[in-house]
């Protein structure tokens, strides 16, 4: 790396076919997107990004003439939709999603998706137009301080004021987005930089020595034999080991390695909300989701285990509400992660490893074979099976009203664990997490850490572009889908076979549940029973030929069967019991001993929580 030259030129790489050509900055940008394997762009145009939009058009015209698909540019209803589409694409595919928007409000409309991706470690590259370099800071038309705004919420932000660095910046942005702990990278590109003409290098990157050195250490951090021996020493002392798998297992493409390790040794597995799908929920070793709205048996298993093996999980407040009481009987905790800052951040651990998760667990499985490691955990597995039998998920199955759990069960019966499920945020999100089966990673797409309402529909669109032949279902709530309802038209504009289910309880169901439990039933701003939205007519107006309202329990199997069999876009509004709650529920700042299981799930504790104090979170 040359400290004087800000660019790296890889002499060993094959010469790019277009190296040496004179291109506009916009043309270089689009060529790098093509080189990075981008096959879909989500974005909304505007004055400051027009040169790049034109370059996309020219590129696609040339690709079409050559018989290649190019990079379709998908236009949403607004830029927030574009950001969530890029996120849905990235979450479903594991590849970097791309959003392309204009300056000012176009860029600021991406703030929420960028933060959402950062919070859930999702790799996207957001390219924003900007006013010309001389006008920056002058409050020019549609100018916004993108670097200042986005730097607080993105993994990294690049403002390109030197056009000779544009090509290298775009290439480096993809590198940063996808490597290490993945995340969103923003490139702010002034219009004059897009219009500049220069020589295309074909392989240059920015010199970012500190980042690449950290990456090299991460990739080189193989689990040494001594650490393997220490781990198996702790495991040998255990009678009740439990794997606690988080979103990092999926983001790090480590699901197969973790699954193989669990199966090799016969260790039960719980997952976080973001880890759902990293282990087949139908397997006998699966205890499904733990945490605030996790299965009672999953939380009890965590409480009972004596060795907790955390993998790609961060002991967040939705799981470890009271860190000192979480996994209270565990004599030892081991923590595996790619991010050193997560180790001992919330919960002290006795063993840790910072490195690539797939490598670590492949090595542990191999070492177990080499050591001939065997342990008899049959009593513990029987205990976990007994917990599942004694405290199963359940609801009011005799109610004359449509229960949302029943709707999810019926969809799941047809999908059989193979569908890609997206959600908004709220009660419907938790019912979907609790009652759907997932056979593989990247089938469960939801806004976890940020909890962003309006995520589900655009994420489903992005996922469908990532997997055109897969069944993609957005399970949404009436309040959440309103946030990005305009994207219904995007579904039909592009003829996507996305299935949209709205569980309508006429209000902000999760907020109302909290208001009932903790605010003496005062429904401040959460009751929408007088709102006039006709969702079916809205869907029909946006081109859905199948748009149905379901309000009779007896019709549930038939209507859901028709809905799922529809070959194209399909919309289903289901009027559910407005008083249906999400249970189990561990109130904030409390433990599974205070877990509320409702009327239909058997509890082994008192189930009598105290009201949250003012410092405790929603």
The CATH number that applies at residue 114 is: 3.40.50.970
What total number of domains does the chain contain? Answer: 3
Q: Both tokens of residue 205? A: 């990157």
Same domain for 267 and 197, yes or no, is no
Q: Answer yes or no: do 47 and 187 share one domain.
A: yes
CA angle 417, 391, 437 (to 5 degrees): 5
Assigned domain for 161 exists: yes
| pLDDT (average), residues 436-449 | 97
Residue 615 inside a domain? The answer is no
Comparing 606 with 240, which gets the higher pLDDT?
Answer: 240
Q: Which residue has the higher pLDDT, 265 or 594?
A: 265
Q: Is 595 a residue of the active site?
A: no
Question: Residues 36, 71, 79, 409: which is the catalytic one?
Answer: 79
Q: Give the side-chain half-sphere CA count within 13 A for 137.
A: 3
* Residue 88 CB contacts under 8 Å (≥ 6 apart), including other chains: 97, 422, 445, 458, 459, 460, 461, 462, 463, 466
> Crossing angle, helix 225-237 and helix 357-371, to 10 degrees?
70
> Per the residue annotation, which of 141, 237, 350, 545 is the catalytic one?
141
Rounded distance between C-alpha atoms, residue 380 and residue 302, angstroms? 12
Q: What is the mean pLDDT of residues 227-242?
A: 97
Spatial separation of the C-alpha atoms in residues 39 and 548, rounded to whole Å: 34
Instruction: Supply 535's token pair.
Output: 């969702």
- pLDDT grade for 605, boundaries at 50, 70 and 90: confident
pLDDT class of 70 with cuts at 50, 70, 90 = very high
- In this structure, is residue 613 part of a structural domain? no
Whether residue 310 is found in the same domain as residue 342: yes
Q: Are residues 363 and 442 in the same domain?
A: no
Mean pLDDT of the chain: 94
What is the tens place of the pLDDT at every residue in 314-336? 999 999 989 999 999 999 999 99
Q: Which domain holds residue 541?
A: 404-575
Q: Does 304 share its domain with 332?
A: yes
Q: Residues 142, 232, 373, 518: which is the catalytic one?
A: 142
Last-in-domain residue among 538, 560, 575: 575
Q: One of 71, 85, 274, 510 is an active-site residue; which one?
A: 510
Check whether residue 180 and residue 277 sit in a common domain: no
30 and 108 housed in the same domain: yes
pLDDT (tens digit per residue) in 500-520? 999 999 888 777 877 877 787
Q: In this predicted model, what pLDDT tens digit does every residue of 566-602 receive, in sequence order?
A: 999 999 999 999 999 999 999 888 898 889 999 999 9
Determine whether 510 is an active site residue.
yes
Provide mean pLDDT across the span 460-489: 97
In this prediction, residue 3 carries a pLDDT of: 41
Examine the domain organization and report whether 240 and 364 are in the same domain: yes
**Per-residue pLDDT, 614:** 60
Give the single-character DSSP code of 103: S
Neighbour count for residue 329 (Cβ, 10 Å): 12
Kindly write down the DSSP assignment for every residue of 164-176, as one continuous string: GGHHHHHHHHHHH
C-alpha–C-alpha distance, residues 600 and 314, integer Å: 31
Whole-number pLDDT of residue 9? 80
Is residue 398 in some structural domain? no
| Residue 149 belongs to some domain of the structure | yes
Domain shared by 21 and 162, yes or no: yes
In this prediction, residue 4 carries a pLDDT of 42
Q: What is the mean pLDDT of residues 184-196?
A: 98
User: Could you tell me if 182 and 106 lie in one domain?
Assistant: yes
Is the pLDDT at 547 greater than 90? The verdict is yes
Q: Which of 28, 130, 143, 191 is flagged as catalytic?
A: 191
C-alpha angle 608/610/613, rounded to 5°?
A: 160
DSSP state of 609: P
Which residues have C-beta within 8 Å of that of residue 109, sequence separation ≥ 6?
A: 78, 79, 80, 83, 101
15 shares its domain with 125: yes
User: Looking at the structure, do residues 206 and 251 belong to the same domain, yes or no?
Assistant: no
pLDDT at 566: 97
Query: Given this model, what pLDDT does residue 215 score?
Result: 95
pLDDT exceeds 70 at position 612? no
Q: Does residue 79 carry a catalytic annotation? A: yes
Q: State mean pLDDT over 202-230.
A: 95
Confidence of residue 165 (pLDDT cuts 50, 70, 90): very high
Residue 476 in domain = yes
């Amino acid at each position: 790396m040359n400290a004087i030259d800000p660019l790296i030129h890889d002499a060993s790489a094959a010469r790019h076919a277009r190296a040496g050509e004179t291109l506009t900055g916009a043309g270089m940008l689009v060529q790098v997107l093509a080189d990075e394997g981008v096959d879909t762009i989500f974005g909304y145009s505007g004055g400051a990004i027009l040169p790049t939009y034109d370059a996309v058009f020219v590129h696609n015209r040339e690709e079409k003439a050559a018989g290649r698909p190019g990079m379709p540019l998908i236009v949403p209803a607004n830029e927030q939709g574009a950001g969530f589409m890029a996120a849905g694409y990235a979450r479903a595919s594991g590849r970097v999603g791309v959003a392309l928007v204009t300056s000012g409000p176009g860029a600021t409309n991406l703030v929420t998706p960028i933060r959402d991706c950062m919070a859930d470690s999702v790799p996207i590259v957001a390219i924003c137009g900007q006013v010309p370099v001389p006008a920056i800071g002058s409050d020019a038309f549609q100018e916004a301080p993108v670097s200042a705004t986005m730097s607080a919420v993105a993994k990294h932000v690049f403002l390109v004021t030197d056009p000779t660095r544009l090509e290298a910046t775009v290439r480096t942005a993809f590198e940063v987005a996808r490597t290490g702990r993945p995340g969103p990278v923003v490139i702010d590109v002034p219009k004059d930089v897009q219009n500049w003409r220069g020589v295309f290098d074909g392989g240059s990157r920015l010199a970012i020595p500190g980042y690449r050195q950290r990456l090299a250490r991460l990739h080189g951090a193989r689990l040494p034999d001594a650490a393997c021996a220490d781990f198996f020493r702790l495991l040998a002392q255990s009678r009740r080991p439990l794997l606690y798998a988080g979103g990092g297992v999926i983001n790090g493409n480590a699901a197969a390695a973790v699954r193989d390790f669990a199966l090799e040794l016969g260790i039960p597995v719980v997952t976080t909300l973001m880890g759902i799908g990293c282990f087949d929920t139908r397997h006998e070793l699966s205890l499904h989701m733990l945490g605030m709205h996790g299965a009672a048996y999953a939380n009890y298993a965590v409480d009972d285990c004596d060795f907790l093996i955390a993998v790609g999980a961060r002991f967040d407040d939705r799981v470890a509400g009271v860190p000192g009481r979480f996994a209270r009987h565990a004599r030892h905790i081991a923590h595996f992660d790619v991010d050193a800052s997560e180790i001992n951040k919330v919960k002290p651990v006795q063993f840790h490893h910072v490195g690539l998760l797939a490598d670590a667990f492949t090595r542990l499985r191999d070492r177990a074979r080499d050591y001939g490691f065997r342990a008899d955990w049959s009593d513990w597995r029987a205990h976990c099976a007994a917990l599942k039998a004694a405290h199963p998920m359940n609801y009011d199955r005799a109610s004359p009203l449509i229960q949302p759990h029943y709707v999810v069960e019926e969809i799941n019966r047809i999908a059989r664990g193979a569908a890609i499920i997206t959600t908004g945020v709220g009660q419907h999100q938790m019912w979907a997490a609790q009652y759907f089966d997932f056979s593989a990673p990247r089938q469960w797409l939801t806004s976890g850490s940020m909890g962003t309402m309006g995520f589900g529909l655009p994420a489903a669109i992005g996922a469908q572009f990532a997997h055109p032949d897969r069944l993609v279902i957005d399970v949404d709530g009436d309040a959440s889908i309103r946030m990005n309802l305009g994207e219904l038209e995007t579904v039909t504009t592009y003829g996507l076979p996305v299935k949209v289910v709205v569980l309508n309880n006429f209000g902000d169901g999760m907020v109302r549940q909290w208001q009932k439990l903790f605010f003496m039933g005062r429904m401040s701003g959460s009751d929408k029973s007088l709102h006039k939205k006709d969702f079916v007519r809205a869907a029909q107006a946006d081109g859905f030929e199948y748009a149905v309202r379901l309000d009779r329990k007896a019709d549930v199997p038939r209507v859901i069967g028709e809905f799922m069999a529809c070959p194209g876009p399909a919309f289903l509004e289901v009027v559910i019991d407005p008083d249906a709650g999400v249970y189990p529920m561990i109130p904030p700042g409390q433990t599974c001993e205070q877990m509320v299981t409702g009327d239909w799930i058997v509890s082994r504790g008192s189930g009598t929580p105290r009201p949250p104090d003012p410092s405790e979170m929603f």
